[in-house]
Structure 1
Amino acid sequence: MMDVLQGVEDVVYKTILVPLDGSDLAASILDQVGALAQGYGARLLLMTVGSSLPVSLPRVQDIQLSLTFQAEAYLERIRDRLTSNGLQVETTVCIGDPASEILEMSERHQVDLIVINSRGGQGAPSPFLGSVAAKVAGASAIPVFVLHAKAGGEAQR
């Protein structure tokens, strides 16, 4: 057992990526994420990923812009809450495939840890990982910490 824990005390997380889908369920992990970031003195990078809309929709650019503004406002509210607790927080909104964008963001920003909810707000309750969490955990080159949130809003490990 000691071999497994050897070197754990040297683990340092400087940047933690937290993908959120805009739901209350996804955001329910933020208290644990905040505590983790404070413990390591880490910077949080909050992100949300929107789907690109079909070009055939009328006024697609206006709709996409409106959705992006809504996502930015959602992340800003969360950022304000976390920074009021003394945390360093950055936010970003991406458009594309959620798992791919999360993995790309982790590389681009040299993230040390990804903390993701096991299911987003769109997923039905299940003891299994949601598709995005499963893809990220399976393909990430860095550690992925998956939290499972109850519908009541409290996250569990």
Structure 2
Amino acid sequence: MYKKILLPIDGSEISAQAANSGISFARQIGAEIVTINVTQPFSTLIGFDGMAASYAISDGDYEEAAKKEAQEYLKPVLERAETAGVKATSVITSNYSVADGIVEAAKEHNCDLIYIASHGRSGLSRLLLGSVTVKVLSLAHTSVLVYRVKESS
């Protein structure tokens, strides 16, 4: 059925849980996985408050730090996949929209499923925080499986 699964990882506990579940799913169906972390460009930090200027961060410093952080997020997932006997590769990409980055990577890497976590937020917190998962669902041209965990109140 599915041969290549994209697993977006953002460093959260929920994305780690989804990764574990996605690796198990891939193992069961004989699929490989592509783990991805989407960083946002340096210019997104500048925003309205000039945050980057106040911390004296250069774009080169930011890009290097973002890449290092992404590698730290992806490394344990790759190790778990290897332990489970699942072929896995990783991708780090930069995009102003995390959802766009995920959808583009799925297409670029010929993934036939995006296995993504959802925080299960509703109401005001969903409105304020937005939802990458909802955006991926609306943009994706491939199947999307949502691993949903409701946050405890």
TM-score if structure 2 supplies the norm length? 0.79
Partner of 1:41: 30
Partner residue, 1:27: 16
For 2:72, the equivalent position in structure 1 comes to 73
Unaligned runs of 5+ in 1: 1-11, 153-157
Number of the residue aligned with 1:101: 101
Correspondence for 2:122 among 116, 122, 126: 126
What does the per-residue CA deviation read over 1:114-145, in whole Å, with 9 as the maximum and x for residues that have no partner?
111113xxxx8438795211111112111101
RMSD over aligned Cα atoms: 2.3
* Structure 1 contact 49–98 (Cα < 8 Å) conserved: yes
Question: Which digits, 9 at most, give the CA deviation of each residue in 1:44-73, with x for residues without a partner?
Answer: 001011111127744221122112112112
Name the CA distance, whole Å, in 2 between partners of 1:17 and 1:84: 18
1-structure distance, mates of 2:21, 2:113: 14
Q: Is the 8 A contact 2:10 2:73 kept in 1?
A: no
Report the 3-state secondary structure (helix = DSSP H, G, I; strand = E; otherwise coil) of the residue aligned with 1:84: helix
Query: Which residue does 2:135 correspond to in 1?
Result: 135
**Separation in 1, partners of 2:84, 2:147:** 21
1:3: which partner in 2? none
- Quote the Cα distance in structure 1 between the aligned partners of 2:150 and 2:86: 25
> Could you tell me which residue of structure 2 aligns to residue 114 of structure 1?
114
- TM-score normalized by structure 1? 0.78
- Name 1:8's counterpart in structure 2: none
Q: Give, in angstroms, the shift of residue 151 of structure 1.
A: 4.4
> Which residue in the other structure is 2:49 paired with?
none
Greater fraction helix = 2
Provide the residue aligned with 1:84 in structure 2: 83
Structure 1 residue 37 displacement after superposition: 0.2
